[in-house]
Structure 1
Amino acid sequence: MGKLRGNLLPPALAILFSALLCGIALVVSGANPLRAFGAMVSQVGEGTTAVDIVNSTGVYYIAALAVAIGFQMNLFNIGVEGQYRVAAVVAAVFGGSVALPPGIHALAIILVAAVTGALWAAIPAILKVTRGVNEVISTIMMNGLALGLAAYLIRADVFGELRGNNIRTPEIPSSGWVPGIPLGSSGTVFGLVFLAAALGIGYWVMMNRTRFGFELRASGESSTAAAAGGVSAKKMILVAMLLSGAIAGLVSMPEILGRDHTYNLNFPAGIGFSGIAVALLGRNHPGGIALGALLWAFLDKSGLALDNVGVSREIVTIMQGAIVLSVVVAYEVVRRYELAAEQRRVGRQLGTVEPVGGAA
């Protein structure tokens, strides 16, 4: 019960605190908070908003899982943004250039995306284990390189083609598409939303039911203690980064195989950075990450209704930022509360209760 409380209470406190901050911001700006929040909730039932939220939740969930694997090792893979972008371009070029039977074609594209993401993540991983280069710095730099590489690969004189005012990769034939679930005028749910769910289940099994998951968590807690138990910290860093990159490479697949069937200049950006926030909100737990991804997608899509009530959409950005800041505070508050409760429990067992921070 205590563990469940420790996993769920911090995100709940963070959401409530961020909502309070946004409410204050709305009042200061002269808007009605209840009206603004009501408009956001009502927007879910309009048009394709509900389906868009589900689709975005799946994308954010994959990105957050990629980040969470690194977090388990105390690795900050800030490069998910670049990893999924390079993987998207390479997979789209591959998918539009080959002819394969239906099903096999889509699986091949997904595999290429995962391998490309892993290879892109391998560069900072190797720098980390061989030269001690901080992964935060190297992955941030790799993001810039990824943006330039993607722009180069879709040039008309390389692998791209000019369609109107947009440059894109050749369209993937229908044999490489992943069919979704049509819901009429409400939109179509991406078929690869189920891939996100499968990845979440696999992540939970790996971290809680396998030796690799145990060694990963042990290395993250203390590399010295893990080494004493025969676990190579360098090997775990390399494997964790490769696995994180492989999952990051799949971030773009629901949209490319389910809707766009190509990579173009208008491809969504910032998903990798949102994944960091969602992983933090979910505290690296697959269930918590799912709730965080759903919240993030809800704020993104329902925020469209704010213009209708005279409220700037930027309030959504404020709320998302407040959530990220609040979650750090909430985790610390809950941690101190749990520590105080544990001290009281031990004190009762010993027949005395010492105040928190009191003299021994």
Structure 2
Amino acid sequence: MKKIDKERVALGIAAPVLAVVAAFVVTSLVLLATGKEPFRAFQIMFDYGFKSDSQVYILNKATTYYLAGLAVAIGFRMNLFNIGVDGQYRLAAFMAAVVGGSVSLPGILQVPLIIVVAMLVGAMWAGIAGLLKVSRGVSEVIATIMLNSIATAVISYLLQPGRLAHLDSNTNSVHTTVLPKSGWFFSITPNPQAGSIEGFIVIAALAGLVYWFVLSRTRFGFDLRTVGQSESAAHAGGVNVKRMVVTSMVISGAVAGLVGMPALLNEAHQYSTEFPTGIGFTGIAIALLGRNQPVGIAIGALLWGFLDRTSNWLEFNGYDKEIVGVMQGVIVLSVVIAYELVRRYGIRRQQRKVGEELAAAARTNPRQEEVAA
């Protein structure tokens, strides 16, 4: 039993390791083709990426990426492709900023209010795609893409002076009302020279624990994974498939609502035209890299944060900044291929083991061999 467990762990580790190695090899070839030294580029990335201020930056970036990866992974476990995380977190952050800027409560109430509003908005926006899928058969991919565009249009309409935003005469930027200090989240400052770690990293870690517990230790998680593997089998087992589809989309949207909270509560304290975009699509890559597992998603988020941090420094040292984008794309492609190769290898190995065990049993019991024949 222990041997089998060790083999499963080894196979689980082999895929991401293979993907990262393949990404480094392909990136090295691209650098060589452009006349650049690959080993020097990697040395620059590692030297700069492991500085104390870089580590703080990577942790802060990884917090946001981790939440985006979790939101996407919830849909993936149900065999749903929630490509609308980008629109869900932006609309959620905008509405949370409007509500948070319009009231002033003690911090113990103000911060939870903002977070709950964000989760509710994200859940409702994702729930629309779930309802369209179960009631009209609309693909969640098409629905969430359209909802992304609608969310952008709604934010653009409301984020105007005289509506739900204000024009800053000093910077000419348009933004919502600045959150009162009671709505600011705490920060952790182990080294003042390196900067502060955003306190929302604690919420992200808790979200990962809840994700693991619900999917691995509850009946709901079992039903969710069953529907993702086979809707017909789940229906035969008494699971309400339509309700599970809507529920999983709602939960995915609620987690997506948390994605913009580090930027809102720890950084900008307002929503403006400069609010970060595109994080939802990054979450897709990170969920794939982490194989929808909380620990794997965390590693993927840290890797993405590391690559983001080192890209500018590579450009400063004479390398093309786009090489990091090439590396990220190759990692995602390599992950898909590597996991499939490892999966097929595991199946063949299991089949070979079963064949060997049956052959051994037949040798020890000739009558069983006659029956099998």
Q: TM-score range by the shorter chain?
A: over 0.9
Q: CA deviation at 1:324?
A: 1.0
- Provide Cα deviations, 1:42-78, integer angstroms capped at 9, x if missing partner: 1124473211100111110000000000001100000
Contact 1:200–1:286 (Cα < 8 Å) also in 2: yes
* Cα separation, 1, equivalents of 2:355 and 2:52: 58
The ranges of structure 1 where at least 4 consecutive aligned residues each deviate by more than 4 angstroms after the TM superposition are: none
Q: Please, what TM-score do these two structures have when normalized by structure 1?
A: 0.96
Residue of structure 2 equivalent to 1:231: 239
Matches within 5 A, 1:269-288: 269-288=277-296
Q: Please, what TM-score do these two structures have when normalized by structure 2?
A: 0.92
Aligned residue among 174, 181, 186 for 1:174: 181
Aligned residue among 48, 52, 68 for 2:53: 48
Give 1:235's aligned amino acid.
Answer: R
* Cα separation, 2, equivalents of 1:51 and 1:143: 31
Aligned residue among 106, 113, 121 for 2:111: 106
Matches within 5 A, 1:224-263: 224-263=232-271
Matches within 5 A, 1:114-263: 114-163=119-168, 164-182=171-189, 183-263=191-271
Give 1:326's aligned amino acid.
Answer: S
| Larger gyration radius, structure 1 or structure 2 | 2
2:81 is the counterpart of 1:76: yes
Q: CA deviation at 1:293?
A: 0.7
SS in 2 for 1:178: coil
Aligned length: 353
2:327 is the counterpart of 1:315: no
Give 2:97's aligned amino acid.
Answer: A
Structure 2 residues not aligned, in runs of 5+:
1-5, 361-373
Residue of structure 2 equivalent to 1:289: 297
- Provide Cα deviations, 1:237-281, integer angstroms capped at 9, x if missing partner: 000000000000000101210111011111111100000000000
Q: Identity of aligned pairs, percent?
A: 48
Bigger CA drift: 276-285 or 40-49?
A: 40-49
* Cα separation, 2, equivalents of 1:177 and 1:168: 17
Aligned residue among 8, 13, 21 for 2:13: 8
SS in 2 for 1:311: coil
* Cα separation, 2, equivalents of 1:33 and 1:4: 31
SS in 2 for 1:188: strand
* Cα separation, 2, equivalents of 1:291 and 1:231: 33
